[in-house]
Structure 1
Amino acid sequence: MNWYLYVLKKYAVFKGRARRKEYWYFFLVNIVISVVLSWVDTRLGTPGSAEGAGLLGSVYSLAVLLPSIAVGVRRLHDIDKSGWWMLIGLVPVIGFLVLLYFFVQDSQADSNEFGPNPKKSREGHMHL
C-alpha cells in the first residue's frame, strides 16, 4: 500500500524514474480497488453499473488517470525510453504488448538522461 501512496504523492510528476516495484504495486492496488468499487457499484445499482461503468468506479478511474500515466512515463524513463512511448498503448493489442514488455524490464543499471537509478539512489526509497 505504501507504493500506491508514494505514486499518488507524485500525482502529476512526469520527470524522473520509477522502478518496477513502484509501477507494479500501484497497478496491483488499482486493480483491487477497481474490482471492489465495481462490486459496490453493482450492489448499490449506481448509474452506469449495469453497463459495467458504475459511478464510483468511474470517479475513481478518473481520479487516478493522471498518476497512472505519470508512473508509466517514469517507468519508461527508468529503462531509458521516452515517455512518448506511452502513446503506443493506443494501438490495439500490439501497443499493450509493447508496453507490457517495457514495464517488466529491469531498471537501467546506471544513471541516464532521466536521472539516477532509483534502486541505487535515496530518491528511489519511499518517504511518506
Structure 2
Amino acid sequence: MQWYIKALKNYRGFTGRATRTEYWMFFLFNIIFFIALAFLQEMLGIIHLLTPLYSLAMFLPSLAVLLRRLHDSGKSGWWVLFCLIPMVGFVILTVFACLPSEGNNKYGSNFNY
C-alpha cells in the first residue's frame, strides 16, 4: 500500500526513477481498487460513474510512474507513445516495465529499497 500512496503523492514527478516494485505494486493496487469500485457500483445499482471517474483520476499518476519506470530501465519516456499501437504497444511497454534496473544512468543514480 505504501507504494501506491508514494506514487499518488508523486503524481507530478515525471523525472527520476521508479523501481519494479514501486511500479508493479501501484499497478496491482490500482487494479484492486478499480475492481472493488466496479463491484460496489454493480451492488448498489448506481449509474456507471465511479469507475470512469477513478480511471480519469488515476491517469496522471499512472503515466508518471510508468515514465519513471522506463527511466529506471534506461529508456526515454517517449517510449510510452507505443501505447498508441493496438496490442503490440501494450506488450512492448509491459516488457520494458519488467526489465531490471539499470545502473547509474542519465535519469539518476541506482537505488535499491
Into which bin does the TM-score normalised by the smaller protein fall?
over 0.9
2:110 maps to a residue whose letter is N
Deviations 1:37-68 (A, max 9, x none): 00111122222xxxxxx211111111111000
Q: What residue in structure 2 maps to residue 32 of structure 1?
A: 32
Q: What residue in structure 2 maps to residue 10 of structure 1?
A: 10
Q: What residue in structure 2 maps to residue 122 of structure 1?
A: none
Question: Normalising by structure 1, what TM-score?
Answer: 0.85
Q: What residue in structure 2 maps to residue 61 of structure 1?
A: 55
Is the Cα–Cα contact under 8 Å of residues 20 and 75 in structure 1 kept in the other structure?
yes
**Identity score, percent:** 48
Give unpaired runs (5+ residues) of structure 2.
none
C-alpha separation between the residues in 2 aligned to 1:81 and 1:68?
17
C-alpha separation between the residues in 1 aligned to 2:11 and 2:78?
18
C-alpha separation between the residues in 1 aligned to 2:89 and 2:108?
26
C-alpha separation between the residues in 2 aligned to 1:118 and 1:27?
20
What aligned pairs does 1:1-128 form with structure 2 within 5 A after superposition?
A: 1-47=1-47, 54-108=48-102, 110-119=103-112
Is the Cα–Cα contact under 8 Å of residues 17 and 75 in structure 1 kept in the other structure?
yes
Task: List 4+ stretches of structure 1 deviating above 3 A.
Answer: none
Cα deviation for residue 11 of structure 1 reads 1.2
Is the Cα–Cα contact under 8 Å of residues 18 and 118 in structure 1 kept in the other structure?
no
Cα deviation for residue 27 of structure 1 reads 0.1
C-alpha separation between the residues in 2 aligned to 1:114 and 1:5?
22
1:7 maps to a residue whose letter is A
Which structure would you say has the larger Rg? Answer: 1
C-alpha separation between the residues in 1 aligned to 2:23 and 2:55?
16
